[in-house]
Amino acid sequence: MSGLKKVIPRYHTTYKIEEIEKAGRRERRVGMSSNTADEVFQYTGSETVPKDVTIVHFHCNVVNLTILTFRECTKLKEVVLNINNGLQTIGSLAFSNCTLLESITLPSTVTEIGAHAFRNCKRLRELVLNEGLVMIGTQAFYG
């Protein structure tokens, strides 16, 4: 079976700070605003990924990440690749325009990053490249 499987929702709480006036002086109060869930998907193949995905875990059987796989997943924040993952190539434009993606660690099995693979990932601040990398395509990190 290939494609995506929802594995677990990850809940987090949003807090809001309110300023209130009490007996003539201002006080700050922290209140719970809401509980929201980030859905975590297990990526197991080369099917089209929903554009609203926020967290993706790669299955160890994924060897090649094809062209455009996560392109324009503008809510994608986190990509989890196990260190002993079998991923070898990241195709052209694979993560392009993933504007919320902040960091990714590539396993040492990755040998190739395609052209424009991380193009316009404006929040990408940390990319850990390991010793197996042989080729980085044209403008892989442009924008």
> Is residue 135 pLDDT above 50, yes or no?
yes
Q: In what order do the strands lie in the sheet with 89-90?
A: 64-65, 89-90, 112-113, 135-136
> Is residue 108 pLDDT above 70, yes or no?
yes
Tell which wins on pLDDT, 110 or 22: 110
According to the model, what pLDDT value does residue 44 have?
73
Task: Convert the pLDDT of each residue in 109-124 to its tens digit.
Answer: 899 999 999 999 999 8
Task: Convert the pLDDT of each residue in 48-107 to its tens digit.
Answer: 678 888 888 887 788 888 898 899 999 998 887 766 678 899 999 999 999 999 888 788
Q: Nearest Cα to 78, choosing from 3, 12, 1?
A: 12
* pTM beyond 0.75, yes or no: no
Task: Convert the pLDDT of each residue in 84-99 to its tens digit.
Answer: 678 899 999 999 999 9
Which pair of structure tokens corresponds to residue 13? 């709480």
According to the model, what pLDDT value does residue 23 have?
60
Contact criterion met (CB below 8 Å) for 116 and 91:
no
